Structure 1
Amino acid sequence: MKLLHTFLLLLPFSVWGQSIATDSLDAYISKLVSDQEYNIPGLAIGVIHNDSVVFKKGYGLTSLEQGHPINTQTVFPILSCTKAFTATGIGILVDEGKLNWNDKVKEHLPDFELSDPWITKEIAISDLLAHRSGLRAFDGDLLWYGSNHTTQEVIEKIRHYPIKGSFRLDFNYNNVMYLVAGKIIEQVSGMPWEEFMQTKIFDVLGMQGSSAKFSELTKSPKYVRPHIANKPIIPVSLDNAVAAGGINSSIDDMLLWIQMCLNKGTLNKKQVLSRNNFETMTSPKIPLNNRGSGSYGFGWYIDYEDSKKVLYHGGGMPGYKSIMALYPEEKIGIVVLTNKITMINEGLMNMISSYIINPELTDWSQNRKYFTYFSYSWDRPENIQISPNIPSSFAKYCGVYEDKVYGQAQVKMVNSDAILELVPSKDKLSGRLFFLDKQRFKVKFKDTFLPSGEVVFEMDKNQNIMGFKLVVPNDDFNFDNLHFRKKEQVNPHK
């Protein structure tokens, strides 16, 4: 996730109480949320400056279908902002003398393996937290996304993924490595990760509405529903990827977390993390690229604006988005949570911080151009203009297939439709097949998060089906890791 720079506020406010004219800001956000260009179902925001909460409010509804008004106690998934909590958990154990940042992973998880034996032996906790394992960005995400694989199974399966990057040299954002860090917390503390977060962070800070279980998010009929194409969808459970993105929280709770971070580990004289280990987490560990100043620490992106440090992290899942940012030298902290993916989170973050830092430079009339509309292609309904005709030879495609790492898939007829079902994630990754030619079918998954793709069948010289691969162009999942081999022929109508 990339910070947008030089955001400017639009209105020359003459009087700002506690850094922000709250009535004017409230009116502006209300208008922005309801703007047809964004059409945000719901948003919650909180701002801290100089050790005080200067603005917090909820907007819109939990759902566009019989939803409830959002306020600052409404619970959202914070998604990958969770990573800073997991890194803090490791820091707490360092403070307690139970491990060190540079301990080898194998010291605490003897059965852990990657496909490269040398990296397996050398990889340290710090490498997990800094995304420098050598795995590609997002490798392994299909193992947990909407699947029935447990966290432990995901960790065990990642050993089969090839290392295509340079260990400790390449930054490649990888969620599964945070699951490994979560398992280390469990192993060393003797507590489930969720209990550790509750005991060591939530309870200490007074984050009474926060949790780390999907059932806690959805137990209330008023829970925030994610939206795609302006329709509420069923959220994806992150219970098997909880240490990478599974915390649920509210603006009121997240402001306590942000205040603790601005105070470098302490809130109201209660220490969560030592100042030294907070500084360790938030110092650069690996550059994001060779062109700019951006880097990653442990659970935080790090950048500089006018030579002043900015710490931030965001998260996204189908129909949800989160972002949090700290400007330590300016004593500013901002959190924005939404139930739709657009760039409004980044826009508000940069707009508000820019005004607080340089109010004399703002020009309200220029603001709109910085709030560029942003929506992934799957946030608009996709209309497939292809005939669903099924070839007379379709029976030969039907059967049970298996990828040795991911698991099984089935190709079958359901009523009069040709269907592909990826069994571990069948509620999300099942879809209708549309005939293109004898080797290719277009597939449109149930999951509206994903664009349509292609199933490319492999045949021997006698035109017998041997297996298939998936081509699904997207920025979030590496379908090219999957290679399904045919196990058995089945009756297409069963």
Structure 2
Amino acid sequence: MKKIVLSFIFILAINPFFGQTAHTVNYKELDAYFAKMVNDWEVPGASIGIVKDGKLVFTGNYGVLEVGKKGTADKNTLYAIASNSKAFTSALIGMLVQEGKLNWNDKVKKYLPYFALYDPWVSDEVTVRDLLSHRIGLGTFSGDVIWYKSDLTSEEIIKRLRFLPKAYDFRAGYGYSNVMYITAGELIKQVTGKTWSENVKERILKPLQMNRTITSPKYLDAKGNYATPHARQNNKNIPVVWEDWEEIGALGGIITSVEDISKWMIFNLNNGIIGNDTLLTKETRNMVWTPHNNFIVDHTVKNDFDRHFSAYGLGWGLSDYHGRLRVGHTGGYDGMITEVALIPDEKLGVVVLTNGMKSPIRAATNYALDKMLGVKTIDWSAKLLHNTNQKNTEDSRISERKKKRVLHTKPSVPLTAYTGTYYADIYGNIIISLKEGKLRMKFEHSPDLSASLSHWHYDVWKIEWDKKHAWFDFGTVKFNTDNNLNVKSIDFDVPNNDIFFEELKPIKLEGK
């Protein structure tokens, strides 16, 4: 068992009990539960906050900032919150609607004439609301391989979206789309003349006095007190570098702390009002918290939340939780997983920030909400840890590929035949070269994805990444030849749940 360094702060009372409702909350017991949870899940560290009735009433900090080092977190420690930033993006759009600078039902092409998808009619019909509700027709995470660790601008990314395949009919399904939020960020820039980052700082962070919150890791050293992200490989946590998402910040660029994000949570629980200033009108609040994309709930069996509906609004997930509206989101960044959950009727909110990929965010959130609401709870940590471990055990994608390796085979062509420039419509150039007798792979816009290739079998080569990556590790490329053994294209196979290299499908350029 690794040693857990923990600290907790009780703000409202001298004793560990708080209760404006009929029940009391034992914060010492809650703190002990979280400490054990972090140990059990083997996540490097976590910072947890609870807001109630306009105040941050609990903060708990557990584990370490970085494995192998002694530093510990506090309520001001910075973490990347990734897709929890999407609610900030929808709020910015709402502010522009309030100012008459655009409308929710405006067509995207009105502001970004180059915007195009898999179908010309769909391209013309996509509205601002469509961008924010994951109903475009693209598959979940489709296109993330375009922007991931790349130096492409938002406009350059958007201009490549027309090559992404349709997954379902327009407005007839759900496909979580980061690239549509990139588009929303560029739309904000076009309307205001300022970047998403500048807008979020001026319109939200400054008024809410979120003074430690930043939109790029390049400001981390100036701020100090920040956690290190960790990948997880072979059941071990491995520190990885911070990735800069500022250019595509509208999908997930905010880096913040429990103290700062609590101000955002309280602001939303107060329906967009801060002090005497109404930053979000009633119309905006209702718009972003109205279901725009509904999910099926099985009404034939009982569930753990007494849930009757589940949906996505605009930048927020929506459901009912033991008879109350639950509003929230999760965030996945390279080496950091986070969650924000609000129960507006109770002026209650929970934030969980972690710096590892095997993360108990949902366990911590559910347990805290249950305790604060006084409803019957279960050992969420034990249940969800069991489910997570079982799922990981059952994930045979990599092991099955390794079993099918055919040893003692040889490539069908000389190594020099593989070299050249391969072009992917959705990305650009991928260069295969031969250096010191080894094949090398370089992504034109993503130097951090560079790798060596080692022979796997036949014309399949294993990718030996130069750097550790949080979302994937094992992968192969297959060089395809024609009947005359001329190398024509590459197929990627990198099993993971988030970055789909198989979408690239690069074709070898003649003469290069």
TM-score of the superposition, structure 1-length normalised?
0.88
Match of 1:425 in 2: 446
Gaps of 5+ in 1: 1-13
Across the aligned residues of Structure 1 and Structure 2, the Cα RMSD in angstroms comes to 2.8
Identify which of 482, 487, 505 aligns with 1:465. 487
Match of 1:179 in 2: 182
Match of 1:323 in 2: 339
Match of 2:39 in 1: 34
Do the aligned residues in 2 keep the contact of 1:311 with 1:327 (CA within 8 Å)? yes
After alignment, is 427-436 or 41-50 more displaced? Answer: 427-436
Find the aligned partners of 1:192 and 1:370 in 2 and give their Cα distance. Answer: 39
Is 1:79 the counterpart of 2:82? The answer is yes
Distance 1:307 1:397, change over 3 A: same
Match of 2:250 in 1: 243
- Counterpart amino acid of residue 373 in structure 2: I
After alignment, is 214-223 or 104-113 more displaced? Answer: 214-223
Find the aligned partners of 2:202 and 2:70 in 1 and give their Cα distance. Answer: 32
- Counterpart amino acid of residue 399 in structure 1: G
Do the aligned residues in 1 keep the contact of 2:408 with 2:457 (CA within 8 Å)? no
Match of 1:94 in 2: 97
Find the aligned partners of 1:69 and 1:157 in 2 and give their Cα distance. Answer: 42
Secondary structure (helix, strand or coil) at the match of 2:135 reads: coil
Match of 1:253 in 2: 260
Find the aligned partners of 1:214 and 1:367 in 2 and give their Cα distance. Answer: 31
Show the 5 A alignment for 1:149-164: 149-164=152-167
Cα shift at 1:363: 6.4
Find the aligned partners of 2:43 and 2:505 in 1 and give their Cα distance. Answer: 39
Find the aligned partners of 1:432 and 1:460 in 2 and give their Cα distance. Answer: 21
Match of 1:24 in 2: 29
Query: Larger relative CO (CA 8 A, sep 6+): 1 or 2?
Result: 1
Secondary structure (helix, strand or coil) at the match of 1:468 reads: strand
Find the aligned partners of 1:345 and 1:140 in 2 and give their Cα distance. Answer: 26
Match of 1:478 in 2: 500
Secondary structure (helix, strand or coil) at the match of 2:476 reads: strand
Match of 1:299 in 2: 315
Gaps of 5+ in 2: 1-14, 299-307
Cα shift at 1:401: 1.5
Secondary structure (helix, strand or coil) at the match of 2:207 reads: helix
Match of 1:276 in 2: 283
- Counterpart amino acid of residue 369 in structure 1: K
Find the aligned partners of 1:55 and 1:424 in 2 and give their Cα distance. Answer: 44
Residue by residue over 1:116-164, the C-alpha shift from the partner in whole angstroms, topping out at 9 and shown as x without a partner, is 1111111100000111111222121111101121111101111222333
Q: Which runs of 4+ in 1 moved over 6 A?
A: 382-390
Is 1:356 the counterpart of 2:382? The answer is no
After alignment, is 476-485 or 309-318 more displaced? Answer: 476-485
Distance 1:219 1:66, change over 3 A: farther
Residue by residue over 1:90-127, the C-alpha shift from the partner in whole angstroms, topping out at 9 and shown as x without a partner, is 01111112111111112222232223111111110000
Cα shift at 1:457: 1.7
Match of 2:50 in 1: 47
Do the aligned residues in 2 keep the contact of 1:135 with 1:163 (CA within 8 Å)? yes
Identify which of 369, 387, 398 aligns with 2:383. 369
Find the aligned partners of 2:86 and 2:169 in 1 and give their Cα distance. Answer: 22
Find the aligned partners of 1:339 and 1:286 in 2 and give their Cα distance. Answer: 30
Is 1:210 the counterpart of 2:213? The answer is yes
Cα shift at 1:414: 3.6
- Counterpart amino acid of residue 455 in structure 2: F
- Counterpart amino acid of residue 288 in structure 1: F
Find the aligned partners of 1:309 and 1:30 in 2 and give their Cα distance. Answer: 28
Match of 1:4 in 2: none
Q: Percent identity?
A: 31
- Counterpart amino acid of residue 404 in structure 1: D
Do the aligned residues in 2 keep the contact of 1:418 with 1:434 (CA within 8 Å)? no
Find the aligned partners of 1:290 and 1:348 in 2 and give their Cα distance. Answer: 23
Residue by residue over 1:435-469, the C-alpha shift from the partner in whole angstroms, topping out at 9 and shown as x without a partner, is 311x3223243443214223122211111111111
- Counterpart amino acid of residue 210 in structure 1: T
Distance 1:239 1:370, change over 3 A: closer
Do the aligned residues in 2 keep the contact of 1:288 with 1:295 (CA within 8 Å)? yes
Number of positions where the alignment pairs a residue of Structure 1 with one of Structure 2 = 471
